Chain A
C-alpha cells in the first residue's frame, strides 16, 4: 500500500534531477560570465583581442571560427547525408541495406577524439596536398582561398566536422524516408515517373526531416570540441580566408582553460564564450526539434 504512493514520488525525484541539472548549468554559465559582461557589456562578443596581461578579452575570432567551420561542415555534409539516406533506403540492394545502416550508425557513435587523431595525422596532410594547395595556387585570387594553407586550419576542421555529422544527419533523413506511406511511392511510380523523379518527389514530402537533420547536425558541429581543437590550428586572429588557422569557441575553451585560473577575467571570458555558444546552439537545436516534431505529427 505504502510503496504504491512512494514509487511515483521516487520516480518524480529522478525525473526532476535532469531539469535541475539543465537549469543549474544555465545558471552557472550566467553567474560565471557575469563579471565580464558587467565590465565590458556585450562589446566583449564583438571584439577581437585576447590579451591576458592586460585582462582584455573579445571572442569574435572564435565565434567567426565556429560559424565558418560549421558552415563548411553543413554544406559538405548535407548532400552526402541526403545521398546516403536515399542510397540505403531506395537504391542499394536490400541485402546490404542493414550493413550500410550499421556502418553509418557506427560512424555516428565513434568517439570524436579518434576522428581528431585521424584528422590531424591523415586527413589534414591529404587535404593540404590535394585540395587546399591546388585551390590556393590556381584560385588564390579569390579571397576565400587567399591564405597559403598549412594542414591545420578552418577548412580542415570544417571537412572533418562534415565527416562526423553526415551519418547522424543521414539517419534522421533515412528514418523519415522509410516512414513515407507506401501507397504514395506506388502512386508516384504508377504515374510513369522514373526512379529519380520518384525520389525527388518523395524528398519534397520529407522536407521537414531534411531541415531537422540539417539543424541538429549544425548544432553538433558547433558544439564539437576535441576533434576541432586538434585540427583547427588554435590561433587567435580574425580569419581572412578559409585556409586561415583559427579557433572555435569550444576549442578556445579547451585550450585556454588551463591558463585561466591565473588571471581574474579569463575564466569569466571563457564562461561567457560558453554562454554564447549555448545560446546559439539552443536556438538551432530547438529549430531542429521543431522540424522533427512536424515530421512526427504529420506522419
Chain B
C-alpha cells in the first residue's frame, strides 16, 4: 500500500513536470505559426526593396529603408563590437590570471544583463545630443556596446578550449605572439569564434530598445549618411505595430517574418558549426 502511494505520486509529479515543460515550449511554435501565417504572404522581392506604403491608400509597399538600415547598422556593429569583443576575449583567455582580466570578466558578465535601453541613453548622450540629430552612427555604437560582452565571453571560451599542448606547439615554432594567436591558434578556435560572431550578429539584428533613442527611424528615406537618421527592421516593427493603421500592421507582420527568418538562419548555421566541432 505504501509503495503504491509512492508510485502514484511519482506518476503524478512526472506528468505535471512533462505538462509544464511542454506548455513552456508552446509559445515558440505559436509565434512561428502566427508570424508566418500573418506575415509570409507579404514577402516578395518588392517587399524587401520598396518604400513602406502610405498609411492609407496606395500599394502594398515594403521595408526597403529598414532593411538597408539594418544591414548598415549590423555591419558597423559587427566591425566595431566584433573586434573589441574578439581581442577582449583573447585577453581574457590568455591572461586570465591578471587582475584586469578578472575585473573585465566581471564587468562583461554584468554588461550582458544590462537593460539595453540604458545603452541607448548612453549613446544618445555621447553621439546624438552633441550632433543635435538622431544618427546612424549612434545606433551602430549602441549595438556594438550591446554585443561586445556576448562576443568577448564566447571568444574567451573558444580560446580556452584549445588544448594546452596545441598552444605549446604553436609557440614552439618560434613565431611571434600575434602570429601564434591570430594565424595558428585562430584556426583551432575558428568555430567557437565564428559562433561568437554569429551570436553577436543575431543580437545586433534583433535589438530594438537602444535604437529608439539613437536612430529615430525614418520611414520614407533610404540610407543618407552615418550622421543622418536611419531605420532598422526591429524599429519598423515596433513603430508600425503601435501605429493606428491597419496597413502598417500588415507591414509589421511581414517585417517580423523577414526578421524571424534572418534569426532562424543564423541560429541554424551556428548549430551546424557546433555540431561539426563535436564530430
Contacts and interface: CB of A to CB of B under 8 A. Distances in A.
B205 A111 contact: yes
B87 A14 contact: yes
Contacts of B51: none
B10 A194 contact: yes
A295 interface: no
Contact of B14 (A24, A196, A289): A196
A29 B121 contact: yes
Contacts of A282: 110
B35 interface: yes
Contacts of A153: none
Contact of B104 (A18, A84, A87, A163): A18
Interface stretch (A35-43, A50-58, A99-107, A139-147): A99-107
Contact of B24 (A19, A28, A81, A110): A81
A15 B24 contact: no
B109 interface: yes
B241 interface: yes
B11 to A, nearest CB: 8
A158 interface: no
A24 B122 contact: yes
Contact of B115 (A12, A28, A32, A222): A222
State the majority secondary structure of interface residues on B.
Answer: helix
Given A111-B207, A112-B208, A285-B113, A28 B259 contact: no
Contacts of B1: none
Interface of A: 3-4, 7-8, 10-12, 14-19, 21-22, 24-25, 28-29, 32, 79-81, 83-84, 86-88, 91-92, 100, 102-107, 109-118, 120-123, 163, 166-167, 170, 194-197, 199, 216, 219-220, 222-226, 229-230, 250, 253-254, 257, 270-271, 274, 277-278, 281-282, 285-286, 288-289
B106 to A, nearest CB: 8
A222 B18 CA distance: 28
B213 A257 contact: yes
Interface in B192-224: 199, 202-203, 205-209, 212-213
B166 interface: no
Contacts of B106: 289
Contacts of B100: 12, 15-16, 19
Given A24-B122, A254-B212, A230 B238 contact: yes
A11 B95 contact: yes
A253 to B, nearest CB: 6
User: Would you list the 3 A-B pairs with minimal beta carbon distance, nearest first?
Assistant: A111-B206, A223-B115, A87-B21
Contacts of B38: 121
Interface string B249-276: 1001100100110011001000100000
Given A118-B34, A285-B110, A111 B208 contact: yes
A11 B116 CA distance: 26
B125 interface: yes
A283 to B, nearest CB: 11
26 contacts: A11-B88, A11-B90, A12-B91, A14-B87, A18-B104, A18-B148, A80-B20, A92-B21, A109-B202, A109-B203, A110-B260, A111-B234, A112-B206, A113-B259, A120-B242, A121-B34, A223-B113, A223-B114, A225-B212, A226-B208, A226-B209, A226-B238, A257-B212, A274-B117, A274-B118, A285-B113
Given A107-B27, A223-B114, 4 more contacts: A4-B177, A195-B10, A254-B212, A281-B115
Contact of A225 (B23, B209, B237): B209
A277 B114 CA distance: 10
A257 B25 CA distance: 35
B113 A220 contact: yes
A5 B164 CA distance: 22
B173 interface: no
A15 B14 contact: no
Interface in B98-114: 100-101, 103-104, 106-111, 113-114
A265 to B, nearest CB: 16
A115 B31 contact: yes
Contacts of B206: 109-114
A278 B121 CA distance: 12
Interface in B36-75: 38
B17 interface: yes
A106 B28 contact: yes
A164 to B, nearest CB: 9
B24 A84 contact: yes
